[in-house]
Structure 1
Amino acid sequence: MVTCRFGGTDGFRLELLDHDDLVVVRTRRRGTRHETAPLGRRSREAGGRLSALFGLPDVGVDVYAAPTGAARELADIIHTDPEVRFAGRGLRDPSGAPVVYTENVFVKFADDASADHCERVLAGAGLTVKRTLGYARGAYFVAAPEGTGPAVFDLAEELLDRDDVDLCHPELIREPSHRAAFPHQWHLGPVTVDGRSVDAHANVVAAWQTTRGEGTTICVIDDGFDIDHREFSSDGKIVAPRSASPPRSGDPRPGHGNHHGTACAGVACADGVGEASGVAPAARLMPIRLVSGLGSQDEADAFVWAADHGADIISCSWGPRDGRWWDPSDPLHDQVVPLPDSTRLAIDHAVRNGRGGRGCVVVWAAGNGAESVDNDGYASNEQVIAVAACNDRGEQSAYSDHGEAIWCCFPSSDGHESLTPGIWTTDRRGRDGYNPGDSSLGDERGDYTNSFGGTSSACPGAAGVAALILATAPELTWSEVKDVIRVSARRIDDTPGEYDERGHSKRYGYGRVDAKAAVAEAASRAAAGRTRSDDPEAGEPEPPLVPA
């Protein structure tokens, strides 16, 4: 067993176990092993006893399940192959989920430590600075010598025990889960589908009488974006595009099988010139491609890029792997996944410094495991808006997570007994996306899908409403936007005991987002001068209380 600590010496201690049943393989070339690295006969035979779990193609890493007790033997064989840079055993967290450690470490020194001192300490520990991290004082992303292996955990613990080090942990990477579970845009306003009235919307069409999100920028961090789609073609629509994962560049277009980001972006801010409108169609889109594993430094860098390049809202429809929502015995339901300090401080940077100090509004998909969101360090972070999913009957979507951290819900697909296939939104064009060109799955060209869903869809929907709020009252702080959503949300499924004395439900938060009411509340606050900028002596307002 190895351990590491998130949040400093007194923070959350994560224990990772070696069951001798996981093999991690890193090739000498990026991409998956099967696609790019032809292995020798012995390695292929050893690999034949492995079952692929997931891959991290940007760093050439694949994770495999091995017969229990055989991981060491098989890893040793594969490690000798000239095409393999490293093969070793993998670790699992207490829920059994695989966790990959790298030989990289996040370190944050005390604020009063000089750069010279920090670099001497790192050099003395045998660490090489890969880069300084400007979003936190005294923060570094460093590399241990190749071959350090699991000793990187001891190295990080020794650094954290120093009086001049505030935070330190190895870079731990998990399989990211895109939060989609399983016609036309019933989530925006009342419609009739197949002769049936569907009235479970977020009151978006009515809000468009006031604003369509002009002057705002929604950043969507996801697996890639078809930025050449006609719904993202209006003048100035795309701003500061970025690939945070290798090859790092200004091109956020998706790779093979990466359909999720295009659908999420469409829900948030598609132009509506073809067959799909986003919640905030006049908002700009900042697309950031992120296909690195959960917990990577690339993940943290994406938030810094967004905040430093003008994002108003940041939408994240991903997080820890979900348990099977239909299977209460799935051990993943009980997994606790902490938010890495590297990513937490990057979100802090966005909330503290984004929008000229008013703070980026960060919106997060709650998850699709029908489990407690409070175990998810990402969505339960008090600085984000955790969005659950409700269905086309005005009830909780069967898969949607629950808990104290849920702030609101937004219409999405359901796990069963739905009146509609899901949410109609943009898809990768042609045969590349969810819809290969089948009118039963969207349009005949394959440019739109009719069945996007999960909290993956709910999150960018709420992000679009945040854009409508800021277009109406741009001086609001991030915490004020969060509070506007709270007070304007509409209770649904209001049975006795569903909402507590604060008006909070563990399934719906403060209720289903109501875009028209939210815009009206924002306009009222702006007219009354209840924003930070109108009283420079007042300082930052207290954030609204997170349900506790």
Structure 2
Amino acid sequence: MEEVNFGKKRTPSYFLQKSEDLIAVRSQAGKDLASTLSCELANEALIDSQLVMHVADADVQVFKIPPTSNLRKRKTLLRSLPGVRFAGSVLVDPLTQEAVLYTENLFLKFIDQLTSTQCKAILKELGLTIKQQAPYATNAFFVNHKDYRGTDVCSLSLRLLEREDVDYCHPEMLRQGQRRTIHANQWHLKKTTVTYQVHIDASANVEAAHELSQGEGVVVAVIDDAFDIDHPEFTGPGKIVGARNFDRRNAALGPRPKNAFERHGTAAAGVACANGQVGASGVAPRASLMPLKLTKPLGARAEADAFFWAADNGADIISCSWGPAEGHWADPTDPRHTQKFPLAASTRLAIEYAATKGRNGKGCVIFFGAGNGNESVDNDGYSSHPMVVAVGACNDQNRRSAYSDFGKALWCCFPSGDQPHPDPKFKPATSIPQTRGIRTTDLSGKFANVNSGAYTEFFSGTSSACPGAAGVAALVLGVNSALDRQAVRQILADCCDKIGSADDGPLGQYDLNGHSYYYGHGRLNALRAVRLALERLETHG
């Protein structure tokens, strides 16, 4: 195992090692990998193997082979296939053994003092071809070298990092991500009595806020797997704006789902800004939706492109209900709980671009779900970024949802579902009652659920809490669009209700700054947030 530090400034180290039982296979340009691997020779190379990862957009598949197999021989067989561009080793995180793919592209940023002409001259001298100039950072490029493939790309990165004129350089590293998963039953929006006459008073006080704001004129960008933009709750003039699909193989579909499994984004978008005309209201029903489809693994070039697109195409708010894979929330011995997940330099720079350059310099307000691992959000490079609002989940009992991540970076929480403990051998400190999920939009049309139609009652996790908080920010900007990103962030802290229980222990207590590791600044109160925004408008004009 070697420590590989791809960066000179703030980039954390990657600890990676070669796997002894994983093979990555990539198709030739224009070739379909599934067809290539259907031949007899491919069957011999992959006998008794298991497909563990598929990056559809790049047409890369990762297979796990039996431990007694000859890895070298299998790679040689695969490389002999005419439709295979690459068959080689896979790097893994030694803590979790999760695959970390690398493409032949490098993200390279020169120091700011160089001119664009100087940068391009250096790239030409080094034999590097520009794939894309990154528009969200100075002197930043995605490049490749025709003579470097496989792990040689990592060696090339390290050599380039030794140059005094290079700020960042790392391969495009791809890791599997994880989704953070005013109808009568929308208990998260108002005090209500739901089906079976159960009285619930644990909302974010959204219905009352709607008397003052419904998010008019605000654009909420949701980056997620896919969006049913034909859903009745997303219809009307100006409702869908700036839609984009960052998966080039399915670009013609736009942001729409290609199958029934791509339903996460539709639910998240519904929590933020569904119209509320038929079966479910979003927190900001009159806000516009910018649906940005992104199904690539974490760290891909398209991830940074999505943030840049949102900022440059009019998004006021960006909501992301996804992040690194996490430990099992109910198993304290899961080693993934302590895993630190760094941001790719390209993604970090794109987030910072959106947070500082978006909204004509006032900055996009960026939200991430804190995570569902019942672990420290501070280890997650996405949610813990200082320009991001990390959102935790609280339940219909005014308590932290058992799975919700916690820590210094947690900013606030928003109502979401919870779940009873699934395994009696894991004993939580207190009993966890049965609680409800969130009612929101689900796929309509040919992918509709036969039982519940175009809606679901079971959306949950910080996947739901994140767009809920984003919706509150839309209500705030709906009455005071002059607020910059930091002012909105502070309002979200100041508006919170201090929920919790004495038996939460020390992590649930609020410090002198009004912050708790379990709840951040507390549960968002949408009415109070809108009133604070109006007060700022009266004070500052």
Q: CA deviation at 1:378?
A: 0.5
SS of 2:18's partner is coil
Task: Note if contact 2:227-2:266 (Cα within 8 Å) is conserved in structure 1.
Answer: yes
After superposition, give the CA deviation of every residue in 1:347-370 in whole Å (9 maximum; x if it has no partner).
Answer: 111011101100000000111111
**Counterpart among 434, 443, 450 of residue 428 in structure 1:** 443
Once residues 180 and 32 of structure 2 are traced to their aligned partners in structure 1, the CA distance between those partners, rounded to angstroms, is 23
| Number of the residue aligned with 2:225 | 223
After superposition, give the CA deviation of every residue in 1:381-434 in whole Å (9 maximum; x if it has no partner).
Answer: 01000001111111111111111111011111112255554111111114525x
The letter of the residue matching 1:397 is S
**Counterpart among 246, 258, 261 of residue 255 in structure 1:** 258
| Number of the residue aligned with 1:51 | 50
| Number of the residue aligned with 1:41 | 40
SS of 1:17's partner is strand
| Number of the residue aligned with 2:316 | 312
Once residues 384 and 370 of structure 1 are traced to their aligned partners in structure 2, the CA distance between those partners, rounded to angstroms, is 19
SS of 2:305's partner is helix
Deviates more, 1:44-53 or 1:349-358: 44-53
| Number of the residue aligned with 2:372 | 368
| Number of the residue aligned with 1:544 | none
Task: Note if contact 1:3-1:153 (Cα within 8 Å) is conserved in structure 2.
Answer: no
Q: CA deviation at 1:132?
A: 0.8
Once residues 458 and 32 of structure 1 are traced to their aligned partners in structure 2, the CA distance between those partners, rounded to angstroms, is 39
The percentage of aligned residue pairs carrying the same residue is 46
**Counterpart among 345, 348, 353 of residue 341 in structure 1:** 345
User: Is residue 281 of structure 1 aligned with residue 285 of structure 2?
Assistant: yes
Q: 1:73 to 1:506 in 2, by over 3 A?
A: farther
Task: Note if contact 1:366-1:455 (Cα within 8 Å) is conserved in structure 2.
Answer: yes
Q: CA deviation at 1:64?
A: 2.4
- RMSD of the alignment, in Å? 1.9
User: Is residue 173 of structure 1 aligned with residue 174 of structure 2?
Assistant: yes
Once residues 386 and 7 of structure 2 are traced to their aligned partners in structure 1, the CA distance between those partners, rounded to angstroms, is 15
User: Is residue 437 of structure 1 aligned with residue 450 of structure 2?
Assistant: yes
Task: Note if contact 1:359-1:477 (Cα within 8 Å) is conserved in structure 2.
Answer: yes
Deviates more, 1:80-89 or 1:404-413: 80-89
| Number of the residue aligned with 1:383 | 387
Task: Note if contact 1:5-1:168 (Cα within 8 Å) is conserved in structure 2.
Answer: no
Once residues 260 and 305 of structure 1 are traced to their aligned partners in structure 2, the CA distance between those partners, rounded to angstroms, is 21
Q: Number of matched residues?
A: 519
**Paired residues for 1:495-510 under 5 Å:** 495=502, 497=506, 498-510=509-521
Q: CA deviation at 1:69?
A: 6.4
Q: CA deviation at 1:20?
A: 1.0
Q: 1:211 to 1:320 in 2, by over 3 A?
A: same
The letter of the residue matching 2:129 is T
Q: 1:200 to 1:37 in 2, by over 3 A?
A: farther
SS of 2:109's partner is strand
Once residues 33 and 259 of structure 1 are traced to their aligned partners in structure 2, the CA distance between those partners, rounded to angstroms, is 26
Unaligned runs of 5+ in 1: 535-548
Q: CA deviation at 1:79?
A: 2.5
Unaligned runs of 5+ in 2: 421-431
After superposition, give the CA deviation of every residue in 1:135-178 in whole Å (9 maximum; x if it has no partner).
Answer: 11101111222652111112111212211111111100011211
**Counterpart among 337, 354, 359 of residue 355 in structure 1:** 359
Q: 1:320 to 1:271 in 2, by over 3 A?
A: same
Once residues 68 and 502 of structure 1 are traced to their aligned partners in structure 2, the CA distance between those partners, rounded to angstroms, is 53
Once residues 454 and 62 of structure 1 are traced to their aligned partners in structure 2, the CA distance between those partners, rounded to angstroms, is 29
TM-score, normalization: structure 1? 0.91
Task: Note if contact 2:108-2:169 (Cα within 8 Å) is conserved in structure 1.
Answer: yes
Q: 1:359 to 1:10 in 2, by over 3 A?
A: closer
Deviates more, 1:296-305 or 1:390-399: 390-399
Q: CA deviation at 1:88?
A: 1.1
Q: CA deviation at 1:503?
A: 1.5
| Number of the residue aligned with 1:546 | none
| Number of the residue aligned with 1:234 | 236
Q: 1:338 to 1:281 in 2, by over 3 A?
A: same
Q: 1:73 to 1:393 in 2, by over 3 A?
A: farther
Q: 1:31 to 1:239 in 2, by over 3 A?
A: farther
